Structure 1
Amino acid sequence: MKLVISAALSAILVFTSAAAYAEVPDFSKTAAAQSSYDFSKNQPAKGNNVQQSSAQHDFSKTAAANNQYYFLNNQAAEKAHHLLASTQHDFSTTTAIKQSC
């Protein structure tokens, strides 16, 4: 009985809350929605200056940014050799199989 009352009160609270009856704003009625609105007349936002991160790297100062840099002098990277793992597992070699025998 307590569960039914609790569920009923919760449902009443949800359906009578202000958010349930809130009107969705209709932006088509705003001045900016008119085809004649000139966005270039808007004032820029103030106090919204985002500082650049100091972690950015200036690649123009590297040796490779120089027009005299010769890329063919770079050492070739060693080719990585990876062994492909088997997708199947041999369960006959597990300790659980050995203990059950």
Structure 2
Amino acid sequence: MKLLTSLTLSAVLVFASTFALAEKPDFSKTAAAKASYDFSKNKPATGNQLMKPSTRHDFSKTAAASSDYQFSKNTPAKLYKVNLPSTQHDFSKTSSLKQGC
């Protein structure tokens, strides 16, 4: 029992001390926080730079770009009928009008 208690207390102390001693960085004390800091003098970052992806797609590499592809064999798209709701409402058919309210 004493062993379990001592292990529990030591575990609590380890976890409590790491959180208590952990110091949050105060970036307001850095050189870049000063109003006189000149960001234009910073060196550009090197390595691990992400390249901007191209917004253009090369359709010449698709299956449909080959001369053997037959568009007539494509299955036609399903057509859906969309019923747009009416913007006007016939209030003469409401139950409150029939009750005389």
Instruction: Report the TM-score when normalising by structure 2.
Output: 0.44
Q: Look at both structures and tell me which one has the larger radius of gyration over its CA atoms.
A: 2
